[in-house]
Chain A
Amino acid sequence: MFVLTEMKDTVRIQPWLFKDDVNDAIVNVLNKKFANKVVHNVGLCIALWDIQQLEDSFLFPGDGAHHTVVYFRFVVFRPFIDEILLGKIKSCSKDGVHVSMGFFDDIIIPPNAMQDPTRFDEQEQLWAWEYAMEDGKHDLFMDIGSGCLMKHSLTQRRLDPIKRVKTPRKGRLK
């Protein structure tokens, strides 16, 4: 489910963080920047694993903060194709079954990917698997909250970043 991704970024440490240990400040800034965010073509970033290399820090004129180029590894949620994942059914709709894994919600099982004879029951608003046994068909309903094992097949995997959240401007000292 999880992989390590090596990344390189320029970390900006602002003057009021100079009293902290440099490594701690960099770890905090990186976690704040990437945790719980989807990076394009990489996956959902979870937490910093380690820092591999710190280059020299630079100061730019007009900017009180110092900038450091950091090479680090990040834990990323990126299931590979054909991996089996365990999730919970969140809801059912005509487009398919919506499954959630707690930290990752956007999983949809479209009707063509479900076991062969499945139908959508309008009354209960649930998908049901028509399992044929000797004594006739049995409907196994996919109830909300029940666990389910999913096989990740690449039909459409899109790792798009979410819209950038605007950070509130901090007050300035006069």
Chain B
Amino acid sequence: MEVKKEKSAMLSNYEVLALLQDIQKGHNKQKKMHTNIATVSYEIIQHLENTACAKQSPEVISNFMKALEPYKLTKAEKLQFLNLRPRTAVEIQLIVEESEERLTEDQIYELLDLLGQHLPGDDTEQEQEEMEEEEIVDQE
């Protein structure tokens, strides 16, 4: 066994999730899967289904990548935005290196808006936001 290229490409969580779901579907018709691939695909699907990538699709991802172009982020940073879907400025500062020098505060809030627009989020979060808005309206 020989490793030709250790890192020929980076994959987003969405692509891995799609691959594993395909494998699971394909094997439902055939005989049993070998335990290793069954275990690892089950565990990873469990882990990824609760994250942001479960609701993504190729169109969503390509639109998001185009929207990110003017910010000059590295490949790794864009990938982490996709996988983690940060919701606060703190998270963006963690992901983007030297964010104080490279991004102004306005740009950070613009990025948060972009993330909210392009990447589908949690329904529970949207419900919480709506509940908070209702409470504010009631108080007024």
A contact set with B: CB distance below 8 Å = 1-10, 28, 31-32, 35-37, 39, 41-42, 46-47, 49, 71, 73, 75, 78, 80, 82-84, 86, 101-103, 149, 151
Residues A47 and B19 in contact, CB atoms below 8 Å apart: yes
Interfacial residues of chain B within 36-55, with CB under 8 A of chain A in the complex: 36-37, 39-41, 43-44, 46-47, 51
Which of B9, B10, B44, B83 interacts with A103 by CB under 8 Å? B44
Which of B8, B9, B40, B80 interacts with A84 by CB under 8 Å? B80
Chain A CB within 8 A of B133 CB: no
Which of B4, B11, B36 interacts with A2 by CB under 8 Å? B11
Chain A CB within 8 A of B65 CB: no
CA distance in complex: A101, B23 (Å): 21
Q: Which 10 A-B pairs have the closest CB atoms?
A: A103-B43, A102-B47, A35-B37, A36-B40, A36-B36, A6-B4, A6-B5, A35-B36, A4-B9, A2-B11
Residues B94 and A1 in contact, CB atoms below 8 Å apart: no
Which of A5, A31, A101, A149 interacts with B3 by CB under 8 Å? A5
CA distance in complex: A75, B11 (Å): 8
B contact residues around A42 at 8 Å (CB): 3, 6
CA distance in complex: A75, B13 (Å): 11
Chain A CB within 8 A of B76 CB: yes
The distance from the CB of B75 to the nearest CB of chain A, in whole angstroms, is: 10
Which of B6, B34, B83 interacts with A1 by CB under 8 Å? B83
Chain A CB within 8 A of B137 CB: no
B 1-42 binary contact with A (CB < 8 Å = 1; else 0): 111111111111101100110010000000000101101110
Known: A46-B44, A80-B76. A7 touches B4 (CB 8 A): yes
Interface of A is mostly: strand
Interface of B is mostly: helix
A contact residues around B19 at 8 Å (CB): 47, 49, 75
Name the residue in B15, B36, B76 with the highest tally of chain A Cβ atoms < 10 Å from its Cβ.
B36
Chain A CB within 8 A of B84 CB: yes
Residues B4 and A71 in contact, CB atoms below 8 Å apart: yes
Residues B40 and A35 in contact, CB atoms below 8 Å apart: yes
Residues A1 and B13 in contact, CB atoms below 8 Å apart: yes
The chain A residue sitting closest to B7, CB to CB, is A3
A-B contact pairs, 16 of them (CB 8 A): A2-B10, A2-B13, A2-B15, A2-B16, A4-B9, A6-B5, A7-B2, A8-B1, A36-B40, A46-B20, A46-B41, A47-B23, A47-B37, A75-B11, A83-B76, A84-B84
Chain A CB within 8 A of B95 CB: yes
The chain B residue sitting closest to A87, CB to CB, is B47
A contact residues around B122 at 8 Å (CB): none
A contact residues around B9 at 8 Å (CB): 3-4, 73
Known: A32-B37, A86-B84. A6 touches B95 (CB 8 A): no
Residues A32 and B36 in contact, CB atoms below 8 Å apart: yes
Residues B94 and A151 in contact, CB atoms below 8 Å apart: yes
Known: A4-B11, A8-B4. A47 touches B40 (CB 8 A): yes
